[in-house]
Amino acid sequence: MAFFQSIYNIVSTIVTAVQTKITNILFDLFWKYNYAMIQIEGSRIGQLWKPADTRLVEPPLDTWTCVASIENGRLLERYVYGEPELVKDAESVTIWKTSESRRVNTDHNVGPSLVSFLSVHYEHPDLPNGLRLVIDPQYMMVGNYLLNRVFVLRLLSYQYNRGDYVFDERYSLKIMDSNINICTVGSHQGIVVGEKEYVVL
């Protein structure tokens, strides 16, 4: 019986390694496609070709790591499955997703925060009415750094089509928290979530 158990363990390890490798190859291909599309959209060809639905969708996996950055005014993301770290620069945002939480630019989460936002409203001089942004409760973890430029562009890219919003450094966010406090966060700021409060940096 021990012989079959050891064979099973070896095969299981090999299958997991192959699944992880294949998933990461697919993520890498998607990243290259996304990067190429950003370059094409900035060209003359891209001005003529506008796909109907441009909202992004996260991978349907329990865990992944994503490094998001801004390239030519567009969101560029790199996903990895089964690896804890990705190389990132100071302007990027790293998100570690598990089934229970999402860590953002922090090495560890202490736990869930009591902070919640009733509304986050994206305002821009070129948008007459602004847009409502929804923050998944899994992001409300102690220590997370939210609502900086990359994080805001990521929210817009997943919740709206590209033609529905204008993104540059002129935007501001109007945030109402659960205590009915209202604050404004500019494009060069972000929020660090604490246990019972948040800090605008």
The confidence score (pLDDT) of residue 54 equals 72
State how many domains the chain has.
1
Please write the tens of the pLDDT for every residue from 111-155.
Answer: 899 999 999 999 999 999 999 999 999 999 999 999 999 999 999
Q: Please report which confidence band the pLDDT of residue 36 belongs to, taking 50, 70 and 90 as the band edges.
A: confident
Q: What is the mean pLDDT of the chain?
A: 86
- Name the one residue in this structure whose structure tokens are 């929020």: 191
With respect to residue 125, please indicate whether it lies within any of the assigned structural domains: yes
Tell me the torsion sign for CA atoms 112, 86, 63, 150: positive
Of 75, 178, 166, 180, the C-alpha closest to 129 is 166
Say which residue, 42 or 94, is predicted with more confidence: 94
pLDDT attached to residue 139: 94
At 130 the pLDDT is 93
Most confidently predicted of 28-32, 59-63, 93-97? 93-97
Tens of pLDDT, residues 5-18: 888 888 888 888 88
The answer as to whether 90 is a domain residue is yes
Mean pLDDT of 102-110: 79
Asked if the structure places residue 47 within a domain, the reply is: no
Asked, for residue 91, whether it belongs to a domain, the answer is: yes
**Which residue range(s) make up the domain with 78?**
54-200
Query: pTM here?
Result: 0.82
Q: Once rounded to an integer, what is the mean pLDDT over residues 14-23? A: 84
pLDDT in tens, 160-199: 988 899 999 999 999 999 999 999 999 999 999 999 999 9
Judged against a pLDDT cut of 90, whether residue 50 lies above it is answered with: no
Residue 66 CB burial class (10 angstroms; 0-12, 13-18, ≥19): buried
Evaluate whether residue 35 is within a structural domain. no
**Residue 179 belongs to a domain:** yes
Per-residue pLDDT, averaged over 87-105, amounts to: 82
In a domain, 4, yes or no: no
Note whether residue 13 is domain-resident: no
What pLDDT, on a 0 to 100 scale, did the predictor assign at position 12?
86
Most confident of 32-46, 49-63, 68-82: 68-82
Contact in structure between 31 and 77 (CB atoms under 8 Å):
yes
Residue 99 neighbours by CB under 8 Å, 6+ apart: 62, 63
